A and B are shown apart, each in its own frame.
Chain A
Amino acid sequence: MAAPIKHILTAIATVCTIISLSTAHAADEPENIIKFRQNVMKGNGAHITNIAAVVKGQVTTTANLAADAQAIADGLENFGKLFPTGTEGGKTNALAKVWDDRAGFDKALADAQDAAENMIGAAASNDIATIGKALGALGKSCGGCHKPYRKKM
């Protein structure tokens, strides 16, 4: 009798350990956060490309401008939270400077957030020149982070 109970207990303990280990690893793994923030940026890139297509006159539909501009601002709003300590290694192009000079990084991000808010206003104007100008300013603010805090690509 003792031997089967021991085996069953061992099995249960093993299963519990595996479950607890795997749940601890599933949430907020650095590699998952890195992928997540990269996706936010990919999304921003797609929205910017759409606004650019309108500014360049490649697409005449202006109906999506507001949604695109809003999505960029939303994506940037919590973007800083996606750079917790522990996510500086691995498959990331973020430089250690993000963490070494956090104040500078946060300031550059805040500037980008302002530029994105400004883009929302410009999109509502429906005036292509205004939108183009706002997009130019937004691009410059992207450089505020990408130049000093991203690996040269």
Chain B
Amino acid sequence: MLCSSVAFRDARRTLTTTVTLAIFSFCAFASENTSSAERVSRGAYLLHAAGCVACHTDYEHGGTLLAGGRALKTPFGTFYTPNITADPKYGIGNWNKHDFITAMTRGVSPDGTHYYPVFPYTAYSGITADDLSDLWAYLRTVPLSRAPNRKHDVKFPFSIRLANWAWKLMFFRPVTHRTESTHSPEWNRGSYLVTALGHCSECHTPRNLLGATKSKYAYAGTKQGPDGEKVPNITPDRETGIGDWSQSDITWLLQTGFLPDGDVVGSSMADVVEHSTSHLTVDDQSAIAIYLQSLIPIHNSVQTNKEAEQSDVDNW
């Protein structure tokens, strides 16, 4: 009862907000158009930095850019990314900038649905207002796709959408990115790229039973990553992490996908390199490396021959 009345109230409020904002955005859109070229090109860069392309494009099945449909297998079920082209029916063409910012930073869709945290709004909440505006400007220019969204195939009780609302109460604290004056500008840029835009932690940090990242083990890797992959420890621990990598080893991987031993990253990281990190400027790639090398080393072995054995910090 309580749940349904909350849902109803939410829905009514959202409807009112949507109508009001639709009128506003129509006016705003007309005046915004003037300085848009630069915003669009910045937005295109940010799209790569934020890793939107690899998840929202189903490259494996020849999907259209940002038309969604890529399957993400997780311990909670399989998620299918949605179409985020500007198609009014199948994509997010009916959204306005406010809708977009709310979705990105609060994890709520214009109709009031709470997103699963597989969509990294937890990290994106730290993206600056300017960058969000530019991303939105770019998304308006993407060719439309009429690919329909596919329903997530999620296990009970995670299949109850309202559970996401409860999840947020428990685990979601929106981030505001602040410049730390004790660190260099490069470090601060790296911190922003890694924690907010790049959302590296979403895969490289182990999660608890309810799917929240364990901040205590940030970037220490997990054996239970998306698609059942092992995700490496990227803290500077010498034995189990990347403590013996040089800064250029890290930037080299981000540029080319090559590991220091000449092997290549062959898992989801291959997509991340191809569609995200290799598109970044050398300065940004270096900033990421500087930040990663400053992390607290955590001893957590993810690579082991004993397939069944779980690492210290995975607990399902």
Residues of chain A touching chain B, judged by Cβ–Cβ distance below 8 Å, are: 41, 44-49, 52, 56, 58, 135-136, 139-140, 142-143, 146-147, 150, 152-153
Contacts and interface: CB of A to CB of B under 8 A. Distances in A.
B176 to A, nearest CB: 35
Contact of B258 (A52, A58, A152): A52
B287 to A, nearest CB: 18
A135 B255 CA distance: 12
5 contacts: A48-B258, A48-B262, A140-B274, A147-B267, A147-B270
B256 interface: yes
A47 B257 contact: no
A42 to B, nearest CB: 8
A54 B303 CA distance: 29
Interface stretch (B83-91, B92-100, B210-218, B224-232): B224-232
Nearest to A45: B262
Given A44-B262, A49-B260, A52-B258, A153 B252 contact: no
Contact of A47 (B252, B262, B264): B262
Contacts of B252: 52, 56
Interface residues of B, number: 22
A47 B228 CA distance: 31
Nearest to A132: B256
B256 A143 contact: no
B62 interface: no
Nearest to A146: B266
A146 B268 CA distance: 11
Contacts of A147: 266-267, 270
A146 B228 CA distance: 16
Interface of B: 227-230, 248, 252, 255-258, 260-268, 270, 274, 303
B262 A46 contact: yes
Contacts of A139: 256-258, 264
A152 B229 contact: yes
B263 A45 contact: yes
A56 B248 contact: yes
A47 B263 CA distance: 10
Contacts of A48: 258, 262
Which 4 pairs from chain A and chain B are nearest by CB?
Answer: A45-B262, A146-B266, A48-B262, A152-B229
B257 A143 contact: yes
A142 B264 contact: yes
Given A56-B248, A58-B248, A152-B229, A49 B266 contact: no
Contacts of B270: 143, 146-147
Contact of A45 (B227, B248, B256, B261): B261
A135 B256 contact: yes
A120 B144 CA distance: 43
Of residues A48, A58, A135, A147, which shows the largest number of chain B Cβ atoms within 10 Å of its Cβ? A147
Contact of B257 (A46, A56, A140): A140
B270 to A, nearest CB: 5
Nearest to B268: A152
Given A48-B262, A143-B270, A153-B230, 7 more contacts: A56-B252, A136-B255, A139-B256, A140-B274, A152-B228, A152-B266, A152-B268
